[in-house]
Structure formats: structure tokens, C-alpha cells
Amino acid sequence: MSEVTCDISVSVDGFAAGPNQTLEEPFGDGDVERVHRWMFEGREDNVSEVEAITAAGAFIMGRNMFSPGRGEWDLDWKGYWGEEPPYHAPVFVLTHHPREPVEMQGGTTYTFVTDGIESALEQARAAAGDRNVSIAGGAATVNQYVAAGLIDELRLHVAPILLGAGERVFEGVPNLALQSMAGRHTDLVTHLTCRFSR
């Protein structure tokens, strides 16, 4: 049976994004690019981790990860990733504002889900078939799925930087036990794979 995985990059103090996210600064204020640069600058040292992320059959993300807007949709906006996003699979975007699906090049279709995280997961599982579903982020979305006990495997990618403020993973999440499965270090990041003890 397929599993629900989650990959998220964080600072040592647990932030996935800085405060004040905008169109010009999608990761927010501060040196937040350092949290995520292992996927770009250090890609050759982190090939297996990048491949594990993109191997999912469907993805779920929050509205903040898809768009800088918070109210009604700018229908010209089709995500931060250009005409061919890296997902190459269905992506389910959690939102309070309905929108028709957006088909992109390379097999990515964004479907906008207004009826909660369980509905998004049900739709993503149906789309993924026997492949895994990945909770892509951001931090608030990850926190909702962790708190609901819906993630099987968590892959944290910890960058050696302290941000001090922003969007923190595990904020408001109840005390949960994790079992460490694997760890690996490169120049830009430490990869930690954990499973939740049920």
C-alpha cells in the first residue's frame, strides 16, 4: 500500500520560511534561501534525496506554497515554478477559495481543494494509485498533517543556519514519538528520515 511521506527543508531552529513572505521574497525575510539551496546548488551531492521527493505519485501543498496571494485568486497566477513545474504529477492545493484546475506542461495539474486536509489526501491517494503521496509544504500544511497523524514517513532536510523567526515546522503539534530510520550529511544539509511511532 502507498504511504504518505513528507519532505521539508528547515533551519536548525525549525523554520521552513522566514516572516513576511511576498511575491518578491517567496521564502520571506532573512537568508532563507540557504535552507533550500541544497536542492539547487548542491544537487549533485543530494541526488537520492531529490529523486525521493519527485518520485511521489501525487503532492499536497498549502496555498502559501503555491501563491503569494491570500484572498481571491489572480487567475493569471499558475505557481512559482513556471510553465513546467518539477512535480510531473497531480498537485492538490489547500485553499479557502475555489478555483478550476490548472493544467501545466510535464504532467502537473493543480487541483484546488476547499474541504480540508482529509479530502485533499483522499483525492491525492486516488490520483497516486500505488505510488506514495507527498506532503510538500509549507510548514502550516505539514503541521496539520502531522497533528492529524496522517504522515507515515518524515524526511527533514536540516540546513546549518539559525533563522530566529518565520514559519516553524511542528508549531502547535502535540507531543509525538519519532523513530529515526536514517541520516546522511552533505556540505549544505543533513538529511534525517523518521517514522512516527503509532
Q: What are phi and psi of 187, to 5 degrees?
A: -60, -35
Query: How do residues 98-146 score in pLDDT, each as one tens digit?
Result: 999 999 999 999 999 999 999 999 999 999 999 999 999 999 999 999 9
Query: How many domains does the chain divide into?
Result: 1
Question: Can you give the pLDDT at residue 42?
Answer: 75
Q: At what angle do helices 117-128 and 139-147 cross, to 10 degrees?
A: 90
Q: List beta partners, residue 196.
A: 178
Once rounded to an integer, what is the mean pLDDT over residues 30-52? 89
Pick 70 or 194 by higher pLDDT. 194
pTM for the model stands at: 0.94
Residue 97 Cα distances to 20, 49, 115, 122, 196, angstroms: 21, 33, 10, 19, 32
Question: Can you give the pLDDT at residue 1?
Answer: 66
Say what percent of the chain tops pLDDT 90: 81
Tell me, yes or no, whether 186 lies in a domain: no
Residue 38 Cα distances to 43, 148, 152, 161, 185, angstroms: 6, 29, 24, 13, 11
What residue numbers bound the domain in which 96 lies? 4-19+27-176
Tell me, yes or no, whether 183 lies in a domain: no
Tell me, yes or no, whether 158 lies in a domain: yes
CB of 178 within 8 A of CB of 101?
Answer: no
Tell me, yes or no, whether 75 lies in a domain: yes
Give Cα 5 to chain centroid, integer Å: 10
- Strand-strand pairing, 102-103 and 153-159: unpaired
Please, which pLDDT band fits residue 27 given cuts at 50, 70 and 90?
A: confident
Tell me, yes or no, whether 170 lies in a domain: yes
Tell me, yes or no, whether 85 lies in a domain: yes
Tell me, yes or no, whether 187 lies in a domain: no
Q: Rg of the chain's alpha carbons, rounded to an integer?
A: 16
Angle at 173 between CA 169 and CA 175, to 5 degrees: 120
Say what percent of the chain tops pLDDT 70: 99
CATH of the domain at 138: 3.40.430.10
Question: Can you give the pLDDT at residue 194?
Answer: 95
Tell me, yes or no, whether 192 lies in a domain: no
CA-based torsion, 16, 20, 26, 30: positive or negative: negative
Question: Can you give the pLDDT at residue 107?
Answer: 95
